[in-house]
Structures are given as C-alpha cells and as structure tokens.
Copies of this chain bind each other. A is one copy, B any other.
Amino acid sequence: MHDLTLYGYWRSSATWRVRIGLHLLGVGYEYAPVHLVRDGGEQYMDDHIRRNPLGQVPVLTWNVDGQEHRLAQSLAILEYLDETTPGQILPTEPFARARARQLAEMVNAGIQPMQNLWMTRAITAGGADGRGIAREAIRRGLAAMQAECDLAAMLPTSAQPRTWLVGDSPTIADICLIPQLYNARRFDIDLSPFPALTRVDALADKHPAFRVARPEAQPDALHPTD
C-alpha cells in the first residue's frame, strides 16, 4: 500500500471501524484528526468538504504517481483494503462473505445513521427526543443482530458464528459491531439481552488490533469527557 492518511475523529464509530481494519490487516497509516465538535465541526469546513462533500469522517487518502486517491464511507474503505492487501477481513466462502456483509450493514445502515450527530441534532432541533429515538434504533438493531445469531444454526456452517460473528476470524461484521456496542453503552442501553454480541465484545477486548484502535488510544482523544 502507498502512504495512507486517515482523516477521522477518535470517537467516530465509522473512523474506528477503519482503524480496526487497518490494524487487523497490518497496514500502516498516518492519522489526521478532524474535530467533529469544536468550532461547529471541522468536518463542515472547506478543507474537509473537498475530501468528503457529505461532511463526514472517515476519509482515506493516498497518492500514486502524483495522482490523488480519496475514499469515504467506512465499508467501501474496508472492502478496498481487503481487496488490495494480503490479509483478509471478509470470509473466503461466498455465502459467509455475504453473511458478514449483512451483519455489517445492519450496523452501518440499520443502526448508526439513526444515532449519528447530524440526525440526533436535527430531531432534537425539531422538537422531538433525538436521543430517545436513537436509543430505540440501537436497541431494536442490536436485538435483530442477536436474533440473527440465534437463527444462524439453520444457515450453512461457513456462515455461522463461531469464535467471531462469522467463523473463526474477525470480519467486517465484528469490525462494525464493536464501535456500535460502545455507542450503545454511551446511550445507556442494557446489553444483557444480547449475549451473542457481548461475547464478541469480550473477545475484541483482548485482541491487539481491536485494542490499539480504541477511541481512548487515539491522539485526539479528549479526557475525561468530550
């Protein structure tokens, strides 16, 4: 891989996913913080809007022979890294790959957008309870992921949870799950009904690539609160 720069924010769950992927794949990168809260949000400033017109992190950039490459959307970035590096963050067997992608999208499209900064602010500004709706979205999304794990015994063996959500190595499904569980705790969600998910969380807690990717370990982490 060429010299990669990851524009992100310590607590952005989408940035966190990419950090996990980079560390799992053993790919080095430079980390360039974009502060999502300070001064109304650096993600909305011209420099960043040129990197990602949606005003979001993460963005991964690199140059090849002076030619700019930039990529946004965490799952697009993770798929690219999987395809262009020797390591793997997707299973090999096609249905197991699909299953990992399904679980990843349950977080990426089914939960996270309902609790992100823009959405909760817009709902709250409109006079409803943005945090409450986010909590409900997180709770029902995680319940569906737990139910998927409970139903998985009926699926082909390659697509079943084993050590991780799909099989015996971490995949994009686990990469998406871990930051979402952290957010669930921030939103005071009781995780005890989701043992198939907290089991993976405990595993990630001991895994070097997951540990080094944690928000608290990033240079832009704020302490003790944001």
- Chain A residues packing against B (C-beta within 8 Å): 49-50, 52-56, 64, 67-73, 75-77, 79-80, 83-84, 94-95, 97-99, 101-102, 104-106, 108-110, 112-114, 119, 122-123, 126-129, 132-133, 136-137, 140-141, 143-145, 147-148, 151, 154-156
- Bound Cα distance A140, B53 (Å): 9
Which residues from B are CB-within-8-Å of A140? 54
- Shortest CB-to-CB span from A80 to chain B, Å, is 4
A150 → chain B closest CB, angstroms: 8
Closest chain B residue to A67 by CB distance?
A: B156
Supposing A69-B156, A110-B54, A144-B54 touch, asked if A102 and B122 sit within 8 A by C-beta, the answer is no
- Closest Cβ–Cβ distance, residue A15 to chain B (whole Å): 14
Residues of B within 8 A of A97 (CB): 79-80, 83
Task: Quickly give the copy total for this chain.
Answer: 2
A94 to B64, CA, bound (A): 14
Query: Quick check: A154 and B76 within 8 Å, CB to CB?
Result: no
B94 close to A84 (CB less than 8 A)? yes
Q: From residue A91, how far is it (CB to closest CB) to chain B in Å?
A: 12
**Cβ of A101 and Cβ of B123 under 8 Å apart?**
no
Give the residues in chain B near A113, CB-CB below 8 Å.
109-110, 113-114
Cβ–Cβ < 8 Å partners of A105 in chain B: 73, 75-76, 108
Given the known A-B contacts A144-B54, A156-B67, are A123 and B112 also in contact in the complex, defined by CB atoms under 8 Å?
Answer: no
| Chain B neighbourhood of A133, CB < 8 A | 119, 122-123, 126
* Min C-beta distance of A161 to chain B, whole Å: 14
Rank and list the top 3 A-B pairs by shortest CB-CB distance, nearest first: A126-B128, A53-B147, A128-B128
Contacts of A156 in B (CB 8 A): 64, 67, 69
The residue of chain B having its C-beta at the shortest distance from the C-beta of A108 within the complex is: B109
Whether A73 lies near B109 (C-beta < 8 A) is yes
The reply to whether A155 and B76 form a contact with Cβ atoms under 8 Å apart is no
When C-beta atoms are compared, the residue in chain B nearest to A52 turns out to be: B144
